[in-house]
Amino acid sequence: MKIDGQCSCKNIAYRATVSPEQVYVCDCEDCKTHSGTPKGVIVGIEGEDFELLSGSLKAFKSTAANGSEWELTFCPKCGTRIHAKSISEGTDFFGLRAGTVNQRDQLKPTLQTFCHSK
């Protein structure tokens, strides 16, 4: 499925190809904190399927409760979180924040992760 999205201030814009079957409700502490809600909703995506169209992402490293390291990216102007990628796993797979996707009404969660953090 082709999608596009942006941050709140529209400084960051992107387009991507995602699988609607890879939409997750995440109960990890980072998702809770950054969404300001008890859960986060992310879309699993491979880096090659993501294209940044405008702006430049700012990143910071976070250590999860299990010790794994994550790179969290956001808009440097408005602070909207865009995605998170595991540094520890050495993969190009990351979680795109579903709230930034223009077609988010078409993305229904199919899996739940970090359930032990509910």
CA distance to 33, 59, 60, 116, per residue, from 81 (Å): 11, 10, 11, 23
pLDDT, tens only, 6-21: 999 999 999 999 999 9
Structure confidence at residue 113 (pLDDT): 66
CA distance to 46, 75, 81, per residue, from 33 (Å): 24, 16, 11
pLDDT, tens only, 70-92: 899 999 999 999 998 888 777 78
Q: Are 6 and 106 in contact (CB under 8 A)?
A: no
pLDDT, tens only, 33-74: 777 777 788 999 988 999 999 999 999 998 877 788 889 999
The model carries a pTM of 0.86
Backbone angles phi, psi at 50, to 5 degrees: -120, 130
Whole-angstrom Cα distance, residue 52 to residue 54? 6
Domains of the chain, residue spans: 2-117
CATH number of 2-117: 2.170.150.70
